[in-house]
């Protein structure tokens, strides 16, 4: 079995599982309790906070543990919006291909009277910093741009965008769910005010993540109750999850350079191999992308059929086709980079991992070529294209 | 739980009656690439009986399986019976489809009906839009 859907989730590392179990066994106390069992849990919690902070160049007090990336995105955006409103600023800038945790939060804010500008991400899937600068007005309270896109893997010019926001006095949030543990992230160097992350994208457990908020930025609570997390997120802390996330993050950062080097070679082999399929195209910039991400469109076929047949061959991947989303529209990310519906339905995302081998890559290329050819063999769309009744798009 | 029934997967993996009939008596195409599903049915009809049927489909697993099952259900049947084929019958023969995939069975029903209408048009001596 070849697992090539690490952008959806990753397998927990043995070390993270070990930490999770031992923490649950030995440090089961409530960190808010004053007796020793509680204080032991509190120590584990604060040690984790320090290590998570260290991994991204932050201070421990700037880290807030959440249930994952979506909660962190919601809280970051909601907080910046509330702060803006107090100063009469209700304009937010984002991009057309953000994760739905961001886009749906912005939609909600629009219904509450905020105005939202979604910047184009162009054919290469990259935001242009100058366009961010041009979009900022006196009303702007927040710019939120993802660090790396979850579907096409393009890495945004975060540092430049951050610098622009600093200069203009606008808060800058980045959804770094796909980036943390995979590419270098330093909140100080990258000029980031707010950042969201999720443990299960770097071999940690599901249901845990964190929000970085630069000190001085007052967060709005999404969950009211006790005084946990400096009063900004109520609920007894998920200590085993937090500890396991910390183990996974520390390990991921240690191995980052070596992994990135190895994965980049494999990624580029996949891109070269799949490019040999006629009337196909890579989605997103070929170089400014996550070392793990390959995303293609194949004309004349539909993505779900492709996934099912690849699954039969032991390859697990994903697609931006409508049929895999349960809606009639294909991926908003592919539409945002200008792929038309017809072509966007025939997309394939492969997100490889540290245990992907050279042999796996060769097998994936061979299998995708065969399956695409097979499906095209009885596709009326492909027949019309080949007969000249319709024009090839790719 | 699997996404699809074993029967859907069987018809998806080993679709029956795939291909083209060059001298078809009726051809029907429904759906559009924008929505992600296109089905094309080719019928050979002799003495008001469907003697052969082939299909081509651009679409998801359930679209391919629905096309395949629909061809099996009408092959060798009189035209009147094929005309009465419902999407429900296609879905039932596949041991059910997920709710949000029921439109695939609707497309199969429409594709067959469209091919039969083309056949009737040709029989009446009218030009088929297919050959325009």
Please tell me which of the candidates B18, B40, B60 has its beta carbon nearest to residue A305: B60
Predicted pLDDT at B127: 64
- Domain total in chain A: 2
pLDDT in tens, A373-384: 999 999 999 999
| Cβ contacts of A303 on chain B, cutoff 8 Å | 60
- CB contacts of B58 in chain A (<8 Å) are 300-302, 379-382
Q: Does B59 touch chain A (CB under 8 A)?
A: yes
Same domain, A341 and A260: yes
Residues A302 and A232 in one domain: no
Give the residue from chain B lying closest to A304, CA to CA.
B60
Share of chain B above pLDDT 70, in %: 95
Residue B132: the pLDDT is 43
Range of the domain at B44: 6-122
- A114/A229 same-domain check: yes
Residue B130 inside a domain? The answer is: no
DSSP state of A218: P
Q: From residue A156, give the alpha-carbon distance in Å to each of A3, A52, A72, A289.
A: 26, 22, 19, 9
Numbered residues of chain A with Cβ closer than 8 Å to any chain B Cβ: 300-305, 308-309, 312, 321-323, 326, 328, 330, 340-342, 345, 378-383
Tell me what the mean pLDDT of segment A299-308 comes to: 96
Residue A340 lies in a domain: yes
- Are residues A74 and A86 both part of a single domain? yes
Residue B23 CB neighbour total at 10 angstroms? 6
ipTM of this complex prediction, to 2 decimal places? 0.94
A180 domain residue, yes or no: yes
Who among A303, A308, A341 is closest to B34 (CB)?
A341
- Looking at the fold, whether A48 and A89 belong to one and the same domain comes out as yes
Q: How many CB atoms lie within 10 A of CB A230?
A: 9
Judge contact between A343 and A299, C-beta under 8 A: yes
Tell me if chain A has a CB within 8 Å of the CB of B27.
Answer: no
**Which CATH number goes with the domain that contains A235?**
3.40.640.10
Q: What pLDDT sits at residue A226?
A: 96
Q: Which of A208, A223, A252 is the last residue of a domain?
A: A252
In a domain, B127, yes or no: no
Mean pLDDT score of chain B: 94
- Is there a single domain that holds both residue A53 and residue A32? yes
Q: Coil, helix or strand for A63?
A: strand
CA distance A213 to A56: 12
Q: Can you give the residue range of the structural domain that contains A241?
A: 14-252
All residues of chain A having their beta carbon less than 8 Å from the beta carbon of residue B19 are 378
Candidates A345, A376, A392: best to mutate against B (most CBs of B within 10 A) is: A345
**A141 with A179: CB under 8 angstroms?**
no
Report pLDDT for A100: 96
Q: Per-residue pLDDT for B32 more than 90?
A: no
DSSP state of A62: G
For residue A90 the two structure tokens come to 């209700």
Show residues of chain B in contact with A328, CB under 8 Å: 35-36
Same domain, A49 and A103: yes
Is there a contact between B60 and A381 if contact means CB atoms under 8 Å apart? no
The CATH number linked to B102 is 3.90.1010.10
Residue A138 maps to a domain = yes
Average pLDDT over residues A261-266: 98
Report the pLDDT value the prediction gives residue A207, as an integer from 0 to 100: 98
pLDDT of residue A79: 98
- Say whether both A213 and A282 belong to one domain: no
User: What is residue A347's predicted lDDT score, i.e. its pLDDT?
Assistant: 96
Contacts (Cβ under 8 Å, ≥6 apart) of A306: A298, A319, A346, A348, A368, A371, A372, A375
pLDDT > 90 in chain A, percent = 97
pTM higher than 0.90, yes or no? yes
Asked whether residue B129 is assigned to any structural domain, the reply reads no
B54 phi/psi in degrees, rounded to 5: -135, 155
A129 is written with which tokens? 């910093």
CB contact under 8 A, B36 and A308: no
Residue B130 near chain A (CB below 8 Å): no
Residue B130 in contact with residue B117, Cβ under 8 Å?
no
Domain boundary among A229, A252, A275: A252
At residue B34 the predicted structure's pLDDT band, cuts being 50, 70 and 90, is confident
- The whole-number pLDDT of residue B129 equals 59
- For helices A69-86 and A100-111, angle between their N-to-C axes, nearest 10 degrees: 30
CA dihedral (A162, A289, A254, A3) in degrees, to 10, reads 140
- Tell whether A25 is covered by a domain: yes
Q: pLDDT digits over A267-289, tens only?
A: 999 999 999 999 999 999 999 99
From the CA of B13, how many Å to the nearest CA of chain A? 8
B122 reaches A (C-beta below 8 A) = no
Q: In whole angstroms, what is the distance from residue A371 CA to residue A167 CA? A: 51
Confidence at B2, pLDDT banded by 50, 70, 90: confident
Is B13 in contact with A312 (Cβ distance < 8 A)? Answer: yes
Is there a contact between A378 and B15 if contact means CB atoms under 8 Å apart?
yes
For residue A327, the chain B residue with the least C-alpha distance is B100
How far is the C-alpha of A378 from the C-alpha of B19, rounded, in Å?
Answer: 6
In a domain, residue B1? The reply is no
Q: Is residue A392 part of a domain?
A: no
- Per-residue exposure over A43-54, b if at least 16 CB sit within 10 Å of its own CB, e if not: ebbeebbebbbb
Is A305 close to B61, i.e. CB distance below 8 A? Answer: yes
Contacts of B101 in chain A (CB under 8 A): 323
- Judged by DSSP in three states, B89 sits in helix
Residues of A in contact with B13 (CB under 8 A): 309, 312
Residue B44 lies in a domain: yes
- Under DSSP, the state recorded for A322 is G
At B48-93, the pLDDT tens digits run 999 999 999 999 999 999 999 999 999 999 999 999 999 999 999 9
The pLDDT confidence band at residue A327, using thresholds 50, 70 and 90, is low
Whether the predicted pLDDT of B128 surpasses 60: no
Q: State the CATH number of the domain containing residue A355.
A: 3.90.1150.10
Mean pLDDT of B13-31: 97
Is B40 in contact with A380 (Cβ distance < 8 A)? yes
Average pLDDT of span A212-217: 98
Q: Pick the catalytic residue: B65, B90, B91, B104? A: B104
Q: Which of A224, A252, A280 is the last residue of a domain?
A: A252
Q: Is the domain of A247 the same as that of A259?
A: no
The per-residue pLDDT of chain A, averaged, comes to 97
Chain A residue numbers with beta carbons less than 8 Å from the beta carbon of B57 are: 378-380
Q: How many domains does chain B fold into?
A: 1
Per-residue pLDDT, averaged over A152-165, amounts to 98
Task: Please say if A297 is a catalytic residue.
Answer: no
């Amino acid at each position: 079995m070849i697992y090539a859907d690490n952008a959806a989730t990753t397998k927990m590392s043995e070390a993270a599982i070990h930490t999770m179990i031992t923490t649950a066994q030995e440090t089961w106390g409530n960190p808010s309790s004053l007796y020793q069992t509680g204080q032991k849990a509190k120590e584990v919690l604060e040690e984790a906070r320090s290590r998570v902070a260290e991994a991204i160049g932050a201070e421990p007090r700037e880290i807030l543990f959440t249930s994952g990336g979506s909660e962190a995105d919601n809280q970051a955006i909601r907080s910046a919006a509330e702060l803006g409103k107090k100063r009469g600023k209700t304009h937010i800038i984002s991009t057309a291909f953000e994760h739905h945790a961001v886009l749906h939060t912005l939609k909600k804010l629009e219904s509450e009277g905020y105005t939202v500008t979604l910047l184009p991400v162009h054919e290469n899937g990259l935001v242009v910093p100058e366009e961010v600068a041009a979009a900022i007005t006196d009303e702007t309270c927040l710019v939120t741009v993802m660090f790396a896109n979850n579907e096409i893997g393009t890495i945004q010019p975060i540092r430049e965008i951050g610098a622009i926001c600093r200069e203009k006095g606008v808060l800058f949030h980045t959804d770094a769910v796909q980036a943390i543990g995979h590419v270098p992230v330093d909140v100080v160097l990258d000029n980031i005010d707010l950042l969201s992350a999720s443990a299960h994208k770097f071999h940690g457990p599901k249901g845990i993540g964190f929000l970085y908020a630069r000190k001085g930025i007052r967060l709005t609570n999404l969950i009211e109750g006790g005084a946990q997390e400096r009063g900004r997120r109520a609920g007894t802390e998920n200590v085993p999850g937090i500890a396991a996330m910390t183990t996974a993050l520390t390990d991921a950062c240690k191995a980052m350079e070596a992994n990135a080097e190895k994965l980049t070679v494999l990624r580029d082999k996949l891109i070269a191999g799949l490019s040999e399929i006629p009337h196909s195209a890579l989605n997103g910039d070929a170089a400014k992308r996550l070392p793990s991400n390959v995303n293609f469109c194949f004309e004349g076929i539909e993505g779900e059929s492709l996934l099912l047949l690849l699954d039969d061959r032991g390859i697990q991947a994903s697609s931006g086709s409508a049929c895999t989303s349960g809606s009639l529209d294909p991926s908003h990310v592919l539409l945002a980079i200008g792929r038309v519906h017809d072509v966007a339905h025939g997309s394939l995302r492969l997100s490889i991992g540290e245990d992907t081998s050279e042999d796996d890559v060769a097998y994936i290329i061979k299998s995708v070529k065969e399956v695409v050819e097979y499906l095209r063999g009885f596709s009326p769309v492909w027949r019309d294209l080949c007969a000249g009744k319709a024009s090839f798009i790719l | 739980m699997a996404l699809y029934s074993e029967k859907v997967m069987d018809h998806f993996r080993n679709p029956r009656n795939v291909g083209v009939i060059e001298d078809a008596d009726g051809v029907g195409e429904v759906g559009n690439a924008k929505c992600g599903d296109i089905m094309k049915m080719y019928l050979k009809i002799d003495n008001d009986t469907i003697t052969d049927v082939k299909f081509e489909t651009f679409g998801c697993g359930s679209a391919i399986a629905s096309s395949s099952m629909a061809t099996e259900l009408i092959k060798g049947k009189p035209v009147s019976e094929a005309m009465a084929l419902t999407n429900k019958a296609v879905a039932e023969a596949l041991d059910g489809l997920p709710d949000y995939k029921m439109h695939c069975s609707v497309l199969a029903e429409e594709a067959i009906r469209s091919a039969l209408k083309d056949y009737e048009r040709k029989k009446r001596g009218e030009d088929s839009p297919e050959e325009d």
